[in-house]
């Protein structure tokens, strides 16, 4: 089923293993693709290497399993579904898992939703990046001016990832709205927070357009509440990510300094998976500042019993920037 929807590049997988004479291969898949793990392992084995599938959660290329591969003595990592974000010391092949779904039909429908605007930015995940041209043609044919951003942070122009919307931010001032192409609401919500523009989110898997304006409103309200709540806190935990692309000691040290200047108690906490259970082990801590994945605070706030702020939200809490600045600069720019 999955191989009908996503291009798993099985032939390339075999070729990479032969070419590199890999003996032990660690296969890493994002949550949605994990079910194909056993099938891919078979292919790796046929190609002559020992396959090991990582069963740990993986939400991005920030989580590339370098130390895991080292400890397992793997000589090659095959990482599915994301593009390179961290230089790995172990040879790594990225398979982008492009979606084999057509976007034309739902895009034709989206033209109605786009009718109020003439200047449109397009953004998408790597799974649909090959559809950007199709989308551009459909929109220009309908008389729209299409802009696709390229800030150079991620692999492809127009590509967005969960925590990086720089390609969209780069053109936000030049467009009236964004067309987002991709499954679910996760990236579309991120895009809205990053740009504060209207988003038409077309989902080519479900062939539908997701309304996300209410989600964004709800999240903004929640973020404002979390910041207000955290203002009352006396004891803070500063979360330092342990996933290789999420460690940001510099940001953590800076936030720690600011909190101390403000008379707060601060404990630095190193953490891999940020779960409500893990944080509940520290009852004396009133609120958290998360220097790791910004999406944990934004998307999972209701799961946690204490407020968790992103670094930029912490600056608002501390009065170093205003709520409006946060809105304008977006949630995903590292400006601390």
How far apart CA 273 and CA 250 sit, in angstroms, is 20
Find out whether 77 and 64 touch, Cβ atoms under 8 Å.
yes
Residues 6+ apart with CB under 8 A from 24: 49, 50, 52, 72, 73, 74, 75, 76
- Select 25 or 298, whichever has its Cβ closest to its own copies: 25
Q: Which is nearer to its own copies, 250 or 320 (CB)?
A: 250
CA-only gyration radius of the chain, Å = 21
CB of 38 to its own copies, least distance (A): 4
Binding site for its own copies (CB under 8 A): 26, 31, 34-35, 37-39, 41, 50-57, 65, 67-68, 71-73, 235, 237, 239-240, 242, 244, 247, 249, 265, 267-273, 278-279, 281-285
Of the pair 49, 132, the CB lying nearest its own copies is at 49
Spatial contact of 76 and 92, defined as CB atoms under 8 Å apart? yes
Note whether 272 and 56 are within 8 A (CB): no
Count of residues for the chain? 336
* Minimum distance, C-beta of residue 219 to its own copies, in the bound complex (Å): 24
Between 55 and 225, CB nearer to its own copies: 55
Query: In 3-state terms, what secondary structure has residue 116?
Result: coil
- Give me the least distance between CB of 277 and its own copies, in Å please: 8
Cβ nearer to its own copies, comparing 232 with 281:
281
Q: Work out how close the CB of 142 gets to its own copies at its nearest, in angstroms, rounded to a whole number.
A: 40
Q: How far apart are CA 245 and CA 232, in angstroms?
A: 31
Smallest separation, CB 72 to its own copies (Å): 6
Distance between alpha carbon 303 and the CA centroid of its chain, in Å? 19
Nearest Cα neighbor of 201 from 143, 121, 273 is 121
């Amino acid at each position: 089923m999955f191989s009908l929807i996503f291009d798993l590049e099985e032939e390339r997988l075999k070729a990479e293993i032969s070419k590199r004479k890999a003996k032990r291969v660690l296969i890493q898949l994002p949550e949605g693709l994990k079910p194909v793990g056993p099938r891919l392992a078979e292919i790796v084995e046929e190609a002559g290497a020992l396959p090991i599938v990582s069963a740990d959660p993986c939400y991005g290329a920030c989580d590339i399993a370098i130390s895991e591969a080292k400890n397992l003595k793997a000589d090659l990592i095959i990482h599915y579904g994301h593009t390179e974000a961290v230089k790995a010391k172990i040879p790594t092949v990225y398979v982008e898992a492009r979606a084999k779904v057509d976007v034309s039909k739902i895009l034709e429908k989206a033209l109605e939703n786009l009718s109020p605007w003439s200047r449109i930015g397009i953004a998408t995940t790597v799974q649909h990046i090959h559809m950007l041209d199709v989308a551009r043609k459909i929109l220009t044919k309908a008389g729209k001016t299409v802009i696709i951003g390229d800030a150079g942070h991620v692999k492809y122009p127009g590509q967005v990832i969960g925590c990086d919307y720089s390609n969209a931010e780069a053109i936000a001032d030049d467009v009236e709205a964004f067309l987002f192409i991709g499954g679910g609401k996760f990236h579309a919500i991120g895009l809205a927070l990053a740009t504060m523009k209207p988003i038409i989110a077309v989902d080519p898997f479900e062939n539908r357009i997701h309304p996300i304006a209410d989600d964004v409103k709800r999240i903004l309200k929640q973020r404002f509440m979390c910041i207000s709540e955290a203002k009352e806190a006396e004891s803070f935990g500063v979360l330092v990510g342990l996933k290789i692309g999420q460690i940001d000691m510099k940001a953590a040290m800076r936030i720690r300094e600011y909190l101390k200047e403000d008379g707060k108690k601060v404990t630095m906490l190193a953490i891999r998976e940020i779960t409500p259970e893990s944080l509940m082990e520290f009852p004396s801590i009133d609120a958290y500042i998360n220097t790791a994945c910004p999406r944990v605070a934004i998307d999972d706030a209701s799961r946690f019993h204490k407020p968790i702020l992103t670094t930029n939200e912490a600056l608002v809490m501390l009065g170093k920037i205003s709520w409006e600045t946060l809105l304008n600069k977006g949630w995903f720019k590292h400006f601390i």
